Amino acid sequence: MVEVHMSVLVQTMREPLQVKRSANNKCSKQSQGCHTDRVEMSVPFSGTLRRSAGLISAISKQLRQVNLKPVKHIIVKFDPFHENAVSIRDFLFYISAPRVQETNPVCRFKTEIVCDRSEPTVSFALGNGEIVHLKSNKLTTLEILQLYNKHITPLVPVEEPAIARTKLDKKGSKKRK
């Protein structure tokens, strides 16, 4: 007779079922005197220790990294009746948020709505004269933001922190001379 516990019934497709016999080959019920096989199996850990916070959390994480300083103007072109226009409209909504626009107040946004069933595109005109085009036909909003952060955000000039000197620092440096 085989003794199987409920916690051991899970079997993955990757690992074969392992059968281990106990040392005395006896059942826990001494009166029956039967031989038992105990089925033990370990399921390998795969994945994360906790669940993802979700799509909105991932989008907000990408939006915190967005910086419009290297961009002069953004042109968003889409057909509202195109089947994949939802992601570009969501991108336009997120990128035109006040917190994102504060990173570069002189950056201009232009929305071109066409009715020719063309695929949605985003064009970023950079300060150095380059133009970056993103064809977002098969991209989600999160993927568009990730591409922006991958290719354009690293072009932000590094700001050197200004060292603020207090009156006490100024007085202390004069006395030491």
Q: Check which CATH number belongs to the domain holding 87 and give it.
A: 3.40.30.10
pLDDT higher at 128 or 11:
128
Same domain as 32, residue 64: no
pLDDT digits (tens, 9 = 90+) for 48-102: 777 777 888 999 999 999 999 999 999 999 999 999 899 999 999 999 999 999 9
C-alpha dist (Å) from residue 45 to 12, 15, 48, 105: 11, 13, 9, 48
- Report the pLDDT value the prediction gives residue 34, as an integer from 0 to 100: 53
Is 128 within a domain? Answer: yes
- Report the pLDDT value the prediction gives residue 44, as an integer from 0 to 100: 77
In angstroms, rounded to a whole number, what is the distance separating the alpha carbons of residues 75 and 84?
17
Same domain as 150, residue 75: yes
Same domain as 21, residue 107: no
Evaluate if residue 138 carries a pLDDT over 80.
yes
Domain count, the chain: 2
pLDDT-derived band at 13, boundaries 50, 70, 90: very low
Same domain as 151, residue 124: yes
Residue 110: give the domain boundaries. 55-155
Give the other-Cβ count within 10 Å of 119's Cβ. Answer: 16
Q: Say what the pTM is.
A: 0.62
* Contact indicator for 127, 67 with CB cutoff of 8 Å: no
Same domain as 38, residue 111: no
Percent of the chain exceeding pLDDT 70 equals 71
